[in-house]
């Protein structure tokens, strides 16, 4: 089950973040080249970069949460009994689930207001509400990742641990 969720998040959120970051990279190349050689920057480049950064950040949230790669203070873990650590971990995941879903709900309201007011970006006149709805959806996905972790209980494998296990299995040296 864990591997299926990991693959689903990797191919949805991970791919979205990667494509957005790739687009930012090429927009920057085009913008800098245009300013340097043609004395003209990319029209609307700043607005597109801002929207794409939202994609990178919010698409990364479910991955970071699912893989346990966020900042963790584990000062007392060595002296805390395992049953208490497990209960604490499940409680924190349920709290994160509720918080992220609540933030998603707030963002849906914000998107509805943007849509009703006809809010657009200043230069390109792109509507803002789809970005807010996308943020809301990714916040809810992050919340659902925390809910799955609360149900499954154990801590997910971090990227470093995953790389180490993969290297071990394939005989590679890190």
The answer to whether residue 116 is domain-embedded is yes
* Tokens encoding 165: 């296990």
The answer to whether residue 170 is domain-embedded is no
Check whether 163 has a pLDDT greater than 80: no
Nearest Cα neighbor of 107 from 129, 90, 124, 87 is 129
Of all residues in the chain, the percent with pLDDT exceeding 90 is 71
pLDDT at 132: 98
For the ranges 70-74, 75-79, 91-95, 153-157, the lowest mean pLDDT is seen at 153-157
pLDDT at 2: 83
The answer to whether residue 58 is domain-embedded is yes
pLDDT at 123: 94
Helices (H), 39-128: 45-67, 82-117
Which of 163 and 93 is assigned the larger pLDDT?
93
Contact 138, 55 (CB under 8 A): no
Contact 139, 131 (CB under 8 A): no
Stated pTM of the model: 0.84
pLDDT digits (tens, 9 = 90+) for 32-59: 999 999 999 999 999 999 999 999 999 9
Distance CA 169, CA 58 (A): 32
- Structural domains in the chain (count): 1
Distance CA 73, CA 92 (A): 13
- What one-character DSSP code corresponds to residue 76? T
The answer to whether residue 43 is domain-embedded is yes
Of all residues in the chain, the percent with pLDDT exceeding 70 is 89
Distance CA 73, CA 150 (A): 18
Which is it for the CA torsion 60, 62, 65, 71, positive or negative?
positive
Distance CA 54, CA 43 (A): 19
Contact 127, 115 (CB under 8 A): yes
Query: Where in the sequence is the domain holding 130, given as residue range(s)?
Result: 2-70+80-157
The answer to whether residue 169 is domain-embedded is no
Mean pLDDT of the chain: 90
């Amino acid at each position: 089950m864990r591997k299926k969720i990991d693959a689903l998040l990797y191919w949805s959120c991970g791919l979205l973040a990667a494509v957005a970051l790739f687009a930012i990279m090429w927009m920057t190349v085009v913008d800098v080249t245009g300013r340097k050689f043609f004395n003209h920057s990319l029209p609307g480049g700043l607005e597109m970069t801002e929207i794409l950064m939202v994609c990178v950040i919010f698409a990364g949230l479910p991955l970071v949460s699912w893989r346990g790669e966020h900042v963790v203070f584990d000062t007392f873990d060595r002296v805390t009994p395992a049953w208490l650590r497990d209960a604490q971990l499940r409680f924190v995941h349920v709290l994160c689930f509720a918080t992220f879903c609540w933030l998603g709900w707030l963002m849906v309201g914000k998107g509805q207001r943007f849509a009703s007011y006809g809010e657009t970006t200043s230069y390109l006149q792109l509507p803002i509400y789809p970005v807010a709805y996308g943020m809301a959806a990714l916040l809810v996905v992050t919340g659902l990742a925390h809910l799955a972790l609360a149900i499954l209980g154990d801590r997910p494998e971090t990227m470093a641990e995953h790389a180490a296990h993969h290297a071990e299995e394939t005989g590679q040296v890190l």
